[in-house]
Amino acid sequence: MNSALTRARTLLFVPADRPDRFTKAAESGAGAVILDLEDAVAPERKEEARRHAAAWLSSNGHALLRVNGPGTPWYEADVAMAARSGTPVVVPKAEDPAALSELGDRLGPSVVIVALVETALGVERAFDVCSSPGVVRAALGNVDLAGELGVSPDDHAALAYARSRLVCAAAAAGLAPPVDGVTTAVRDETALTADLAHARRLGFAGKLCIHPAQVAQSEKAFAPTEEELRWAREVTAAREGVSVVNGKMVDKPVLERARRMLASP
């Protein structure tokens, strides 16, 4: 699951109290499904949602589990269930490396954590969060972050700093490129297209989706285009050292980028 998660281009949320949607989510073509115990579930349905998630995972259903955050009344039970099932965990409002380290200890040696950075403190501590034991990927929680900052979650300029900081932090920590936040306009293809192009330009390599209708477009957006693959083949065919391909210098960093592009699934 670790390697698949680091390559995943789409992570699709599904409310954990809606087991009728689990199969549809699993068949959506998303790189991974996240059973959401947190924001998508009302307080009075938390325990029911946890039971549904446990039943799905125990019946060989594959998914990540977004737990409720540390300090909430449901965190301990969520983590205990995740530890029993051995499922990867999405940590909301990831901002405290000590809490992430403690969670990693509780989940065991095969722990896989996705750190959802969605607070101003999380953004400022992004490198420490990405470097925490067990964290294999980071994702941006644009809606919560925008709420804290007092801006719109779909404002590219307002969240450009946070996005760039997360991309740099993930690279510095040796992680795969992070996953961008959600597009709240579920059926607006124009908005989704703009969000995907912006995220890819900044260095993201995946998208959090909130509806199956967003999956196919998001998968395509983060896959190399035919033009990019042609460029990568031309670059890798060039001799080692410094050379020129189509009038542009090619050296080791460019060659490595081309090789990564050709190796992407």
Q: Is 118 annotated as a binding residue?
A: yes
* Contact indicator for 209, 182 with CB cutoff of 8 Å: yes
CA-nearest of 81, 162, 149, 82 to 116 is: 162
CA-nearest of 157, 149, 153, 127 to 141 is: 153
User: In sequence order, which ranges of 59-186 are alpha helices (DSSP H)?
Assistant: 75-85, 97-107, 120-124, 126-130, 142-149, 160-172
3-state secondary structure of 139: strand
Q: Is 36 annotated as a binding residue?
A: no
* Contact indicator for 136, 6 with CB cutoff of 8 Å: yes
Q: Is 66 annotated as a binding residue?
A: yes
Binding residues for Mg(2+): 118, 144
The annotation places the binding site for substrate at: 66, 118
The annotation places the binding site at 66, 118, 144
